[in-house]
Amino acid sequence: MGKFTLFKGKNGEFYWNLKASNGEIIGQSEGYKSKTSAENGIESVRTNASIDAHYELSEAANGKFHWNLKASNGQVIMSSQTYSSESGAKNGIASTKKNAPEAKLVDETEQAFA
């Protein structure tokens, strides 16, 4: 089962990653000013992960692929890593659909990160 890891960056903002059961990062958030806002972002991912129309798959100028998951208001709520192929990016979307809805939340906000 996947998990969301919630942490605080050096800049004082809160971030989270969605990780697959093998520990690989599937996607990550942008920075949030408050922990509550970051937790709301996680809930939005859980809600929107199963909706195909909320994924936007793009090819960069260098030929690599990435995707964003958007909320119903069009705001990006999670971004992927870059993938060398379109099929790899689509596998990342499939992994999000599988892992996000039931992923547990691991709060690492009290730990120091470099």
Matching CATH number, 3-107, of 2.30.29.80, 2.40.33.20, 2.40.110.10, 3.40.50.300: 2.30.29.80
pLDDT value of position 110 = 75
Tens of pLDDT, residue by residue over 21-58, are 999 999 999 999 999 999 999 999 999 999 999 999 99
Residue 114 has pLDDT above 80, yes or no: no
DSSP string, 6-55: EEE-TTS-EEEEEE-TTS-EEEE---BSSHHHHHHHHHHHHHHTT-GGGE
Amino acid at 75: Q
Place of tokens 């697959």: 20
Q: Residues 78-98: what's their mean pLDDT?
A: 96
Token couple for 76:
């990006």
